[in-house]
Structure 1
Amino acid sequence: MTETSGDLDRQSLRFLWLYALASAGGAVAYVPFLTILLPVRMSELSGGDDVAPLAYAAFAGAVIASLANIAFGWLSDRSGNRKAWIATGLVLCSLLLVSVQATHSLAELIGVIVVWQLALNLMLAPLAAWAGDMVPDRQKGLLGGLLAFSPAAGAAAGALVTWPGLAGADTRLELVALLTIAMVLPVLVTGYDRPMPHLMTRSSELSDAPRPSRGLIGRMWIARLLVQISEAALFAYLLYWFRSIDPSVTDSDTARVFSIVLVAAVPLSLLTGRWSDRTDRPILPLASAAGLSAIGLLVMALSDTLALAMTGYVLFGLVAAVFLALHSAQTLRVLPRPETRGRDLGLFNLTNTTPSLIMPLLTLGLVPGFGFDGLWLVLAGLALMACLLLATARRAA
């Protein structure tokens, strides 16, 4: 049975699923470490006084990650070989992760974290750009839906490696490294990547083809930044806010709600992504998700009971997860130059790292005087701005 021309213009489902597994492996590489294992190790080395060192490590990590993602994306553009960069980064970040257990001082630990961030982005930057090289626009929605597995996998890995009795403090790091390798390696070794030469045609050869406008690219960047600020604030302060409404809420309750939302977002992202592929309307789901996230934040701001608060958060969490997953894939559609795809994705990655620097300032400026209600109202306004930016965008120049 031969492949039709329509089949040749579509990437194999095998590659898409293995790529989604690798992307989830990228999340597994850093989510359990940064959210659970690093704070524990830092507390051990500092004797309990770990707030300031953790803040310094987070700041340094965000800066290094931002610069490294741009640099390694650009280098993978120049080399034309994404797989080699991904494989090298996979090996180095796994070795450095395991080496954390051998640190004996905070200075050593922060030094390892900085180098680990370099290695991590050596893997993540070309991995993100590789999807743009291999997945045509008609499957970008499906790709976005599959990328929704990544945050869920990161959260699940954190729960797995900290399962009572499964692994000791040191072997947890080794377990994270092994999980990462097991998830990323298959697409590098056995993933059949059907060539898509039209996705690699240089921009100088596309002078007659309609290209996305700079205005759309800018709107996509700003919209993601606005939604990511809200996501970062909820990630950091969700437990504190729930407890301000009902002091009986535990960290386990919050983690369970958080996990349920991430898991439920996967099928919703897949359905929405497939719909956007079939109708060729890539921006509408993004604008709709941003608008619904604003409604969720508004419900949170007006909540005076735990049930209403959780309803608002579940709405926000679901649609924000859909937005971020689909946005990651549709960004590949609007970037104008295939020859600088990795570098440009690194610039878009600033929308993931910058909120961790903005969010604390926003929180300190609002919560003491206006409470969490005031913060949620401001964040609802930012999400609404993201919705309007995308809803009024033109797809091409």
Structure 2
Amino acid sequence: MTAPTAAPASEPARQPRWFLALFALASAGGAVAYVPLLTVLLPQAIADLQGREDVAALAQVTFLGAVMASIANIAFGMLSDATRLRRPWIIVGLIASNLLLLAVGEARSITEMVVLVMVWQVALNLMLAPLSAWAGDCFPDSQKGVLGGALALSPALGALAGSLVTYAGLIDPGARLALVALLVSVLVLPAVVLGKGRVRDELVAPVSPAARNHPRERVVFRMWAARLLVQIAEGGMFAFLLYWLRSLSPDYPDYGVANIFSLVLVCAVPLSLVLGRWSDRHARPICPLVASAMLCSCGMLVMAAAGSLAVAIAGYVLFAIAAAIFLALHASQTLRVLPAPQHRGRDLGVFNLTNTVPGMIMPGLTVMLVPQFGYAALFVLFAGLASLSALLLATAIRRG
């Protein structure tokens, strides 16, 4: 197999390891900004306001926030493209999102909560959109694989932050959002402050429409579709894992799911780094994506056939580690195939839709399949989506 596009005649200078590490931490800061809030703190805040758990209110806040995030990511990607600046927008977004994060904790009604979360999503994506595009401005193709491996830190640190801020007795509930804001600042600022002059001119040189590689544009669509398919499966499992495990073992504890998530994220980081470095050394950027998508499918099929809790958990661990590797490496390899550096922020905003659209698709699939056919049917469908993702990418390699 070969890379989908030919290597440039002169490779831009590689980034030093210290900057690669700082950028990975900055990217993880983006995950720390939203994972604790959306998974733990926001549901608890709504319950405190309502005096009970309110699934409808949480769904409303989450859905409208996701819509705003989708729009804002594209808009601010375009803004950073137009101004040819990334770092100033990252700093402005960091400050604004931190201030709004603190304001969310002061909401006194569901309506106020909805509005604040929507505005916070806009500010957060003012930071995230140029941060993602900045990676494409700085890291040459020869480092895309190891960059992707390093990006596996993002979900791991996001989950760790969620555990830290909610650990019983460690942090006063009123100070949790302030701690999140502090952690985000500590993670993001070093790369931005010390990253001046890291942009490589060869990576930001505009490409005219006449000079674009049209086969590459077809690869872009395949990359987008492949990520969307895996994200649908991954999002579905994230939402319904506990319910499924309890269908096999009614007494299965909720902390068991948290332990599984932690295991998956810890294992995914070194494996992503190893596979990313391998793809750089052998100039085969898409091969690990194809392999991990196929392993996602295998894990789902094991889950569909599982008759015991042990087999079910083993199948999920295989699927989840493969999915985490796929998503981390895919994020960096996308930068390799985007056709126009001058529109990198906008194009990455379109790719960001693969993170938000699944949340709109997955509940409908679950409602249609699970009540009538059981979870096994849902897992078989997800296995098919992952296999189709692998096929799209394998075909992209052959046509490159």
Taking structure 2 as the reference length, what is the TM-score of the superposition? 0.95
What amino acid is the match of 2:145? G
CA shift in 2, pair 1:203/1:396, >3 Å? farther
Q: Does 1:286 align with 2:289?
A: yes
CA shift in 2, pair 1:55/1:239, >3 Å? same
CA shift in 2, pair 1:210/1:106, >3 Å? closer
Aligned to 2:192: 188
Aligned to 1:18: 22
Aligned to 1:255: 258
CA shift in 2, pair 1:48/1:192, >3 Å? same
What amino acid is the match of 2:77? G
Report how far residue 395 of structure 1 moved.
Answer: 7.1
What amino acid is the match of 2:382? L
Residue deviations 1:117-153 (CA, integer Å, cap 9, x gap): 0001000000000000000001000100000000000
Aligned to 1:3: none
Report how far residue 375 of structure 1 moved.
Answer: 0.5
Aligned to 2:232: 229
Q: Distance in 2 between matches of 1:178 and 1:29?
A: 10
Q: Distance in 2 between matches of 1:342 and 1:221?
A: 15
Tell me which moved more, 189-198 or 239-248: 189-198
Percent identity over paired residues: 56
User: Does the 8 Å CA contact 1:66/1:349 hold for their aligned counterparts?
Assistant: yes
Structure 2: segments with no counterpart, 5+ residues: 1-9
Alignment of 1:96-111 (within 5 A): 96-111=100-115
Paired positions, count: 391
Report how far residue 205 of structure 1 moved.
Answer: 9.2
User: Does the 8 Å CA contact 1:222/1:386 hold for their aligned counterparts?
Assistant: yes
Alignment of 1:59-70 (within 5 A): 59-70=63-74
Tell me which moved more, 387-396 or 92-101: 387-396
Q: Distance in 2 between matches of 1:80 and 1:361?
A: 40
Aligned to 2:319: 316
Q: Distance in 1 between matches of 2:76 and 2:199?
A: 23
CA shift in 2, pair 1:271/1:66, >3 Å? same
What amino acid is the match of 1:214? E
Aligned to 2:59: 55
Q: Distance in 2 between matches of 1:195 and 1:356?
A: 34
Aligned to 1:40: 44
Q: Distance in 2 between matches of 1:260 and 1:214?
A: 37
Q: Distance in 1 between matches of 2:53 and 2:254?
A: 21
Aligned to 1:306: 309
User: Does the 8 Å CA contact 1:11/1:193 hold for their aligned counterparts?
Assistant: no
Aligned to 2:163: 159
User: Does the 8 Å CA contact 2:97/2:123 hold for their aligned counterparts?
Assistant: yes
Secondary structure in structure 2 of the residue aligned to 1:195: coil
Q: Distance in 1 between matches of 2:84 and 2:283?
A: 29
Q: Distance in 1 between matches of 2:209 and 2:390?
A: 34
Q: Distance in 2 between matches of 1:205 and 1:104?
A: 51
Secondary structure in structure 2 of the residue aligned to 1:97: helix
Structure 1: segments with no counterpart, 5+ residues: 1-5
Report how far residue 201 of structure 1 moved.
Answer: 1.0
Residue deviations 1:254-294 (CA, integer Å, cap 9, x gap): 10011110111000000000000000001111111101100
Report how far residue 191 of structure 1 moved.
Answer: 3.2
Report how far residue 211 of structure 1 moved.
Answer: 6.7
Taking structure 1 as the reference length, what is the TM-score of the superposition? 0.96
CA shift in 2, pair 1:37/1:310, >3 Å? same
User: Does the 8 Å CA contact 2:11/2:140 hold for their aligned counterparts?
Assistant: no
Q: Please, which of 109, 134, 137 is the counterpart of residue 138 of structure 2?
A: 134
Q: Does 1:347 align with 2:347?
A: no
Q: Distance in 2 between matches of 1:293 and 1:235?
A: 14
Tell me which moved more, 210-219 or 28-37: 210-219
CA shift in 2, pair 1:26/1:79, >3 Å? same
Report how far residue 396 of structure 1 moved.
Answer: 6.8
Secondary structure in structure 2 of the residue aligned to 1:11: coil
Alignment of 1:56-95 (within 5 A): 56-95=60-99
Report how far residue 342 of structure 1 moved.
Answer: 0.2
What amino acid is the match of 2:189? L
Aligned to 1:144: 148
Q: Distance in 1 between matches of 2:156 and 2:314?
A: 20
CA RMSD, aligned part only? Answer: 1.6
